[in-house]
Structure 1
Amino acid sequence: MVHMNQGQGETSYAHNSSIQNSQQNRMKPLIEAAIIDLCGSRSTLFPEKMLIADLGCSYGPNALALVSTAVKAIINHCLQFQQPPPEVCVLLNDLPDNDFNTVVKSLVTLRQNNNKLVVVTGVAPGSFYERLFTSDSLHLVCSSNSLHWLSMV
């Protein structure tokens, strides 16, 4: 199974992922728009709980880029419409060989930096060819660079 170079060394994915970062930056307005669509502007549409997943999150500086954008968009939307914030669950997925130790440390920072809402975090290791989540549980799914690895229909 093909995967990125782990760790923090000179040849690691963490130090050689600027192309992926630029692609994620282009996706930020799309994620913000998706959050606006999900939340709506009336209290009857505003969800009490939201589950966000990133498929193929990897690790390093890009691991939280997309889900962080979504969490910030939720906070901004709640402030703009004076709505109580939903409980947010953020799950990061990648293949089991991913450096999840580094990812988990990043998740702690995500929780601490977003104290305006309840953020529950976790990892879901495994291939997205398999079932990773329960039915009807996801509100937003991000995937910036994992889909080019598709090898099954």
Structure 2
Amino acid sequence: MASKQMVHMNQGQGETSYARNSGIQNALQNRLKPLIEAATVELCSSTNTSFPEKMLIADLGCSSGPNALALVSIAVEAIHSHCLQLQQPPPEVCVLLNDLPDNDFNTVVKSLVMLHQSNKPAVVTVGITPGSFYERLFTSGSMHLFCLSNSLNWLSKG
């Protein structure tokens, strides 16, 4: 059984903050871009469902700083590009950012302005869901896409 560990990154924008010291994590997220784009296009192109009017995307372990919105921004941009290609209006997108309650969500909220500015004309709303993914975070069947990268290292079989 996996154990819960309550750890958090150094908050704020200071010299020792996660926001200033997360280059390795950013490089990993950049490597995930083609995978997220492919998964998003497949989700939007699914033959057993019609094109969704609304989509929910969650980032588990979003952290803070410049990396907090990287994965979901890739997904939202892929949705927008796919819709342009098909000449369809983009769906409403709800992005839910998750991390442990001690995360610096203030820094994350301040960076949301960039997400809203970069994704026009797509309608994007954002919510924050603090908590451990060892417990239930979302209602069943509500999510279309989960993004995570560096959170997997916290999972173990004990």
CA contact (8 A) 1:75 1:117 kept: yes
Which 5+ residue runs of structure 1 have no aligned equivalent?
none
72, 76, 90: which is aligned to 1:71?
76
Q: How many pairs were matched up?
A: 152
24, 28, 32: which is aligned to 1:27?
32
22, 25, 28: which is aligned to 1:17?
22
* Displacement after TM superposition at 1:149 (Å): 1.4
Does residue 1:8 correspond to 2:13, yes or no?
Answer: yes
* Displacement after TM superposition at 1:109 (Å): 2.4
Give the aligned partner of residue 93 of structure 2: 88
Give the aligned partner of residue 144 of structure 1: 149
User: Secondary structure of 1:124's match?
Assistant: strand
Per mean C-alpha deviation after superposition, the further-off stretch among 142-151 and 62-71 is: 142-151
* Displacement after TM superposition at 1:150 (Å): 2.0
The percentage of counterpart residues that share the same residue type is: 78
CA contact (8 A) 1:31 1:69 kept: yes
CA contact (8 A) 1:54 1:92 kept: yes
117, 120, 124: which is aligned to 1:119?
124
Relative contact order higher in (CA < 8 Å, ≥ 6 apart): 2
80, 90, 99: which is aligned to 2:104?
99
Map 1:46-61 to 2 at 5 A: 46-61=51-66
Instruction: Report the CA distance shift for 1:6/1:25 in structure 2 as closer, same or farther (over 3 A).
Output: same
Q: CA RMSD in A?
A: 1.5
* Displacement after TM superposition at 1:32 (Å): 0.3
Which 5+ residue runs of structure 2 have no aligned equivalent?
1-5
CA deviation digits over 1:50-98, x for unaligned, max 9?
0000000000010000000001001100000011110100010000000
CA distance in 1, matches of 2:46, 2:157: 39
What TM-score do the two structures reach when normalised by structure 2? 0.91
